Chains A and B, each alone.
Chain A
Amino acid sequence: MEGSIGRAFRLKHRKILWLFALLLLSLVLEACGSPSAGNQSSGTCPSVSMLTGAGSTFDFPLFSKMFTEYAKIGCHVQVNYQSVGSGAGKTQFLQQTVDFGASDGPMTDEEMAKSQNGPILHIPVTIGAEAISYNLASVPEAQHVRFTGPLLADIYLGKITYWDDPALKQLNPDLSLPHQAITVVHRSDGSGTTAIFTKYLATVSEAWANQVGAGSTVNWPVGVGGKGNEGVAAAVRTTAGAIGYNELAYVLKNNMQYGMVQNRDGVFTLPSLETAKADAANATNIPADLRFYIVNEPGKDSYPITGYSWALVYQNQRDPARGEALANLLWWMVHDGQRYAPDLAYVPLPDAIVQRDEAQIRKMRCGDQGCYHG
């Protein structure tokens, strides 16, 4: 506490006032009640008022809500997050121009090797599910077209070109599928959404894995490219016979038609917060560094096209104050911050992953001690 005041006196007058105010507030808060797991449990605040992050556009609506709330509590730390895309986020993170990066796909070994500041920690912050959207006037809204993974791969490979293809008819005997050409819609810009979708296709279809592969940008064999989630959604909505993949939130908000996908246990499930969470919770083989995909996990309730989104931080924080503020922020994000997820159609983290996250955050080093003092 004394150290903090000493530091404060070296700053300008206004900052001294602010710090005193914050200090008093934190003392009051601490006196008022026992802090819950996610609150700032340390009495002092690091002398940092602003953190910066960059990356995933998928995370942006959730982050924006989280950071607005976070600035209102505890140490009133503002977070300036630029949703420039996962790739650009990783680049900025590697150039150390931001405090943390955010990505819908884990960093590759090659990217990790570019680090000039030692080891990088992956911290899962949220989960997204992707719906298969389509535009078929003959299918009532209450009904959902059934797809299997290999079938989706064949559609996106251009092998199945009509909606009344025998393979589709066999899966959907109750639906009247028209003799209409399938217009395949995909993202034209590189995106984490594409990374998860192509990872799924590569997992369930050998042909896809060999011919196209998985990544945030792939060489699509067929289709029409729409820019952004909204680009794909609009192209599907305006094109009769179109099929696309979208983040669940877009599909629900825009009242689009979407399909059921067969999971690893053979059950057809609809995308929802529950089915995505089931998929995440049933994930096996979680590696220690938390760089993993959770597409096509077992369990009868699992929705297979699901994926994590990560915050990226350096294990060794150069500036102890910033490191502490960052650790506090991340701790809050994976605990209390999760309560803002469901309203925005993001899946809250399963408990097992929260525990893993805690361990990751505790690994962050500020000088010779851990950054998180909780």
Chain B
Amino acid sequence: MLLHSSRTGSKWQELQSRLRKAYRLGRRYPGDSFFRGIVLLAGLAVLVIVGGLILVLVSNSWPTISTFGWRFLVNEAFDPIHQSYGVRPAIFGTVVTSTLALALALPLGIGAAIYLAEFCPRQLQVVLTFLVDSLAAIPSVVLGLWGFLTFAPWLQQNGEPWLQQHLGWLPFFQGSPHGLGLLAAICILMVMILPILISLGREVLETVPREQREALLALGATDWEVIRHAVLPAARSGLAGAAMLALGRALGETIAVTLVIGNQAAPPSLSLFQTGYTLPSIIANQFGEATPGLFLSAVLEAGCLLLLITLLTNILARLLITRLTRGIPRT
């Protein structure tokens, strides 16, 4: 406050500027508080948007929440004719497709990230990174249409019969192949989240200090041992973060999944050949024709649940990352 006083005099000003230089004191100009006000508003806008979103979703889905309560989560039918709504198959489908897609994409994505970060020749790395980024830039509807028009028919005629012939004793590959179904959705989601895993994974791995690798190499470790004991432990929190981002993407993916999953709740079974439903595809399919009342409210409650699942995933991710980073020195 003293510095800001309007006292004049060249000596005083000189002292002021020297003090500022020496101690890098914050200047209290009116512009500063204006700027702070603006960024505060920007920060508050996030709160308002998220808060408003939750408020609108919950208030508009109140009719179904109050009518069905917990039954909405376990009821199988989504039936506007008989005014009976439930999303059990959709929750099942959302969770199963997303987690399996992540499980399939994780080894492939991290493997590719390790190759790119550690072993890839520079020029090839440029090309591969460009390709991975291009894959990430494909709009999901394009992937969905490819899945729907090309991949699903192939799956029906070749992919699923082959799986049935060779792995048919597993409960996952039973029933008649439709092409469209959980398996197709899992594969499409895997393709979608792979570039996220590779791209983020590579960046995380590259932040691991060179010295850690060199220390192990100096001890005569193999490539695998260096990765296993020096690189991966240091990068695990970042990799977990990448996996969670990918899972978030998979949970919320709408149009591509809607196109290939078959959109029909099948009787509960472990088979991946069966058709399924997801929460986002309920919204994509039904929102346009949902008439005001319980029907619209049910669609919005599906949106609410999706928000809740994403929120829970984020919280779990935070917990996981704090657990993983415990005891690791900050780099």
Contacts and interface: CB of A to CB of B under 8 A. Distances in A.
A216 interface: yes
Interface string B75-115: 00111111010000000000000000000000000000000
B153 A181 contact: no
Interface in A221-237: 222-227, 231, 234-235
B289 A217 contact: yes
A302 B328 CA distance: 78
A238 B81 contact: no
Interface residues of B, number: 36
A85 B285 contact: no
Interface in B276-327: 281, 284-293, 295-296
B179 A239 contact: yes
B289 A87 contact: yes
Given A181-B176, A219-B82, A85 B289 contact: yes
B178 to A, nearest CB: 6
Interface stretch (B15-23, B32-40, B258-266): B258-266
Interface in B117-159: 148-149, 152-153, 156
A224 B178 contact: yes
B81 A218 contact: yes
A361 interface: no
B178 A216 contact: no
Among A94, A111, A234, the most chain B Cβ lie within 10 Å of the Cβ of A234
A284 B296 CA distance: 34
Given A90-B291, A219-B81, A227 B264 contact: no
Nearest to B286: A190
Contacts of A191: 289
A75 B192 CA distance: 51
B275 interface: yes
A234 B149 contact: yes
A57 B288 CA distance: 10
Interface stretch (A24-32, A207-215, A266-274): A207-215
A91 B295 CA distance: 12
A212 B81 contact: yes
A72 B180 CA distance: 45
Contacts of B178: 183, 224, 239
Contacts of B259: 227, 231
A134 to B, nearest CB: 15
Contact of A114 (B176, B286, B292): B292
Contacts of B176: 181
Contacts of A177: none
B16 to A, nearest CB: 58
Given A217-B286, A218-B79, A224 B148 contact: no
A88 B288 contact: yes
Contact of A88 (B77, B156, B284, B287): B287
Nearest to A57: B288
A110 interface: yes
Contact of A238 (B153, B285, B288): B153
Nearest to B176: A181
A16 interface: no
Contacts of B262: 188, 224-225
B81 A214 contact: yes
A189 interface: yes
A86 interface: yes
B156 to A, nearest CB: 6
Interface in B41-88: 77-82, 84
B288 A189 contact: yes
B288 A235 contact: no
Contacts of A249: none
Given A217-B80, A219-B82, A190 B288 contact: yes
A183 B287 CA distance: 26
30 contacts: A85-B288, A85-B289, A87-B288, A87-B291, A88-B287, A114-B292, A188-B258, A188-B263, A189-B288, A190-B286, A190-B288, A190-B290, A215-B81, A216-B80, A217-B78, A217-B80, A217-B295, A218-B79, A218-B81, A219-B78, A224-B262, A224-B275, A225-B262, A225-B263, A225-B285, A227-B263, A227-B285, A231-B259, A239-B156, A239-B178
Given A224-B178, A238-B152, 7 more contacts: A86-B289, A110-B293, A188-B262, A188-B281, A216-B80, A217-B78, A235-B180
Interface of B: 77-82, 84, 148-149, 152-153, 156, 176, 178-181, 258-259, 262-264, 275, 281, 284-293, 295-296
Interface of A: 57, 84-88, 90-91, 94, 110-111, 114, 181, 183, 186, 188-191, 212-220, 222-227, 231, 234-235, 238-239
The 6 A-B pairs at the shortest CB distance, nearest first, are namely A190-B289, A85-B288, A225-B263, A188-B263, A87-B289, A219-B79
